[in-house]
Amino acid sequence: MSDISSAASATASWGSLFQGRNGLLAVALTGGVALHAINVHIVTTVLPSVVQDIGGLDWYAWSTTLFVVASIIGAALSVRLLARLGPRGACLAALALFTLGSAACASALSMPWMLAGRSVQGLGGGVLAALSYALIQMVFVPALWPRAVALVSGMWGIATLCGPAVGGLYAQAGHWRWAFWTLLPVALAQALLVAVQLRPAALVRPASDDPSRIPLLQIALLASSVLAVAAGSLSAQLGWQGLGVACGLALGAAAVLVDRRAAVRMLPAGATARGSALGAIYAGVALLLVGTTTEIYIPYFLQTLHGYTPLAAGYLTAAMAAGWSCGSLWSSGREGAGAARLLRAAPVLGFVSLLVLALLLPTTLLPAGLHMLLCGLALAGVGAGVGIGWPHLLVRVLMLAPAGEGGMASAAITTVQLYGMALGAAIAGLVANAAGLIAPGGVAGAQSAAVWLFAGFALAPLGAALLLRGIRK
């Protein structure tokens, strides 16, 4: 794989990013991601309480699966929204969808109702996430890109503090619905900030992509890929489960093949070519995100196997997001050979950390304090395995994007990221159910599911490490 430059110019300082008007734009740009991230941690924390109240344990993973499938669709639509409505209009439309979905979740009386609300939430969240990357190159000069990308990732640190607290406190009080209602005033405040700050005069460069058509077939194939795997997980028969995985992977491969030959593409030109550096980065991003989707079951395992309260389980789970944020912020200033070494080492850290969790979560032999400490460190390691390399991966995508396809490349980052999360969540549900989460269930079923889930998913960051080792600069 050919060498690539790690930066078009020297990376600017954090002070430059927050100086003057840049600081206000940075807050407006990243607030939507913070809202999306807080929501993810709220749902992860309250979901055990939700299924106790309205039922639907066998649909547990579908809450994340449908949320992320809808986010994929939202991310793919973001380029068109951005070109038609402008940065301010696109962000406000996304916030309106997110608010509508949050209200639906808060009022859910059954799991199907909850899943419908999560889908609408995901549609708005996908647009917000994609816009955050697309607007970086429209609002900031190239020297600020690595810092801005790291700041977007750092918003998960805010989620680490706020999400588990909001979700855990409401869950322990028996009022999980208010965790969703709380999101509404936050979304309104973000909408006011966007309306004031993201005016046309704030743009360094306009959107350059042609939004006249959308790659509907590729989007449909990706969504069907995830849903096929998730549908297989609902069956108790191993054969049907295997068929769901096979169909899902085949549909995902079909999406890549169609995109390679399509007049209206989902990925930038050359991204699907054999040996493409851009393609390797996208594939590595997807695999890294697959590994993190084990997070959705951690509160359930901690509460079922170790007697954690919802608040304690939520905060310990958030160590994964904290590791991602801290790793991203710490590594964002690295350049050249140092950045390349981090890209190679980070996925290995994620691989080792998932193996450690496969040993720690099922065991009940360690003292409670030591177990909590080791679990927290391992979860932070999984997150850091993504975050340390994240700014450098995403800046490379923006730099390698063909001329005139910057918006497409940015939206594709989120599309690929969300596809990895959705596919990972669907497979996690299949593995957990097949390993005994539902039958025999209880403590024995949770222990078995934890071993198979974390040991199996450790292969995802290992695959990313093999792919990314060819990126040398």
* Residue 76 in this model has a pLDDT that exceeds 90: no
Which tens digits make up the pLDDT trace of 223-256? Answer: 898 888 878 767 767 778 788 888 988 999 999 8
Q: Which two tokens stand for residue 126?
A: 């996908």
Contacts of 8 (CB under 8 A, 6+ apart): 142, 143, 399
Supply the pTM of this predicted model.
0.73
CA angle (384, 37, 24) in 5-degree steps = 100
Q: What is the CATH number of the domain that holds 47?
A: 1.20.1250.20
Is 11 a domain residue? no
Q: Kindly report the average pLDDT of the chain as a whole number.
A: 83
Residue 206 maps to a domain = no
> Measured between alpha carbons, how far is 413 from 247 in angstroms, rounded to an integer?
24
In a domain, 13, yes or no: no
**Does residue 445 lie within any of the structural domains?**
yes
For residue 6, tell me if it sits in a domain: no
Confirm whether 8 is domain-assigned.
no
Domain extent, residue 399, equals 19-198+213-468
| Structure confidence at residue 280 as a pLDDT band (50, 70, 90) | confident
Distances (CA, A) of 291 to 237, 247, 284: 25, 21, 11
Report cis status (omega within 30 of 0) of the bond before 215: no
How do residues 408-450 score in pLDDT, each as one tens digit?
A: 787 788 778 878 877 887 788 888 888 888 878 888 999 999 9
Asked, for residue 336, whether it belongs to a domain, the answer is yes
**pLDDT, position 120:** 95
Q: Is the dihedral of CA 13, 128, 104, 60 positive or negative?
A: negative
Please answer whether residues 108 and 117 qualify as being in contact, where contact means their C-beta atoms are separated by less than 8 angstroms. Answer: yes
> What is the domain count for the chain?
1
Contact assessment for residue 420 and residue 289, using Cβ atoms and an 8 Å cutoff: yes
Q: Give the count of beta carbons closer than 10 Å to the beta carbon of residue 406.
A: 24
Higher pLDDT, 300 or 165: 300
Separation CA 382–CA 360 (nearest Å): 14
Q: Is the distance from CB of 468 to CB of 347 less than 8 angstroms? A: yes
* pLDDT of res. 377: 96
Domain-embedded: residue 453: yes
Q: Which residues contact 71 (CB under 8 A, 6 or more apart)?
A: 122, 123, 125, 126, 129, 414, 418, 421, 422
In angstroms and rounded to an integer, the radius of gyration of the C-alpha atoms of the chain is 21
**How far apart (Å, rounded) are the C-alpha atoms in residues 145 and 334?**
13
